[in-house]
Chains A and B, each alone.
Chain A
Amino acid sequence: GIQVEQSPPDLILQEGANSTLRCNFSDSVNNLQWFHQNPWGQLINLFYIPSGTKQNGRLSATTVATERYSLLYISSSQTTDSGVYFCAVVPGANSKLTFGKGITLSVRP
């Protein structure tokens, strides 16, 4: 099946810093989504981004489908950004959403 690799596995930031989270995938995809799992376990859908660039406030994401990677940018990080960030992809029609192992982000005040 498709492989989804996220890096770095862990990230510690000082409040106010910027960061880039990376997701590499091993095959072409129809669908790519970024999720944030907060410390209470809730999963929030951040972006649906099979290709191109999107922005939502301090967050933005870019997917370069031809090169099989996606980037999530967090600017001016806040402590509430802490949690685990997952990249998930769908390789074909009616295929399941396959998750990477996640990136654990800790933002310190």
Chain B
Amino acid sequence: NAGVMQNPRHLVRRRGQEARLRCSPMKGHSHVYWYRQLPEEGLKFMVYLQKENIIDESGMPKERFSAEFPKEGPSILRIQQVVRGDSAAYFCASSPRDSNEKLFFGSGTQLSVL
């Protein structure tokens, strides 16, 4: 039973490019969460999704960031026109039903913006 799979593990982009981060939840999990971690800081919530629905996006910047979790395929976190301040580790987590259950995290994607 594979865990939460994130790819790529490392992503390097130049300012102005687009970054696409992928997350496949654990088998049987229909809830996905994205978190961002800056160096030496805790994890900050970004967005909570179920299949085809955004439940809570209160932590997402209003511009340039979007997330989806289609009926088929992985969840995608998309960052358009990246800036240096977007450099961070982005973690995805999944749970079977809702946020009141145990969350399992992927290994993260380290985004570096040059």
Contacts and interface: CB of A to CB of B under 8 A. Distances in A.
Contacts of B33: 96-97
B105 interface: yes
B102 A94 contact: no
Contacts of B102: 33, 45, 48
A45 B3 CA distance: 12
A43 interface: yes
A101 B91 CA distance: 16
Nearest to A47: B102
Interface residues of B, number: 26
Given A94-B99, A96-B99, A97-B33, A102 B42 contact: yes
Contacts of A86: 42-43
B43, B55, B91 — most chain A CB neighbours (10 Å) = B43
B102 to A, nearest CB: 4
A99 B98 CA distance: 17
Interface string B80-104: 0000000001010100001111111
B73 interface: no
B25 interface: no
B107 A96 contact: no
A45 B48 contact: no
B29 to A, nearest CB: 13
A42 interface: yes
A102 B37 CA distance: 12
Given A94-B55, A97-B33, A42 B99 contact: no
A83 B35 CA distance: 19
